[in-house]
Amino acid sequence: MTSEDVVLFVEDNPDDVDITMMALEAEAFPYKVVVARDGEEALEFLFGVGRYAGRDRGRAPVLVILDLRMPKVDGLEVLKAMREDRWLKYVIAVILTTSDEERDRVTAQKLGANLYFKKPMSFDELRAIVRQIRGLLT
């Protein structure tokens, strides 16, 4: 881990961003977290274009937390783009979504998601999820 290592958190709902950030903080998550408010912004960050033009895309995030339903570009599209890119191919992807539809789960798995979580209704469960995600990185 270096000070440059970042985690990309892609989430369009501000409440979910707020709550998840609180959970990350509560669990003393040891990475800098960059928040993208939708799939488009996530792609711009990942590929160093648009708002993130000039960013060294060779420095991939260590992990991407993806919501599925988002305006413009959804989480599955971001995941697909990641898995087709040689720099991002092996970046850990965690799906954190409202949907517990079987087909979303299956599609995410097929596209190469490493973990799939349904957003929990309690803060304790969210913290447990954060702990699991952190476990992937150590």
Partner 1 sequence: MRLRGPYARFIQLSVFGWGALALLSASLAFTSYRRALRSNLEARTGALTRLIETQTLRHAAERSYSSSRSFVLTGDDGFVQDMEDSRDEFRKASAKLERSGGDESTLSLLQRIDGLESRLHWLHRDAHRMRRGGKTPREVGAHMLATTKPVRDDLDGLLAELHAREEANVERAVEDGRSAMRHARMVSQATFASLGAAFILVFLLVRKLARAQLQISDTLRESNDGLERRVDERTKELRASNRELEAFSYAVAHDLRTPLRAITNYADVAVVRPVVGSDPALKDRIEKIGAAGRRMSQLIDGLLMLSRLTRRELALKELDLSALAAEVAGELALAYPERQVAVTIMPGLRDLADESLLRNLLLQLLGNSWKFTAKSSAPAVSFIRESVHDISTYCVRDNGVGFDSKYLHKILMPFERLHDPAEYPGSGIGLPTSERIVRRHGGTLWAEGAPGKGAAFYFTLHRRLPEKEREMTPENFRDI
Give the burial class of 6: count Cβ atoms within 10 A of its Cβ; 0-12 exposed, 13-18 middle, 19 or more buried.
Answer: middle
For the bound state, the minimum distance from the C-beta of residue 137 to partner 1, rounded and expressed in Å, comes to 23
> Does 116 help bind partner 1 (rule: CB under 8 A)?
no
Chain length of the chain = 138
Which of the ranges 11-19, 42-50, 105-113, 129-137 carries the binding residues for partner 1, by CB under 8 A?
Answer: 11-19
Q: How far apart are CA 115 and CA 49, in angstroms?
A: 27
Q: How far apart are CA 113 and CA 99, in angstroms?
A: 15
Q: Could you tell me if 96 and 65 are in contact, meaning their C-beta atoms sit under 8 angstroms apart?
A: yes
Q: For residues 41 and 74, which CB has a smaller minimum distance to partner 1 in the complex?
A: 74
Which of the ranges 34-42, 77-85, 106-114, 115-123 carries the binding residues for partner 1, by CB under 8 A?
Answer: 115-123
> Does 28 help bind partner 1 (rule: CB under 8 A)?
no
Tokens of 102: 């079987």
Residues that bind partner 1 (CB under 8 A): 13, 15-16, 19, 22, 69, 98-99, 101, 119-124, 126
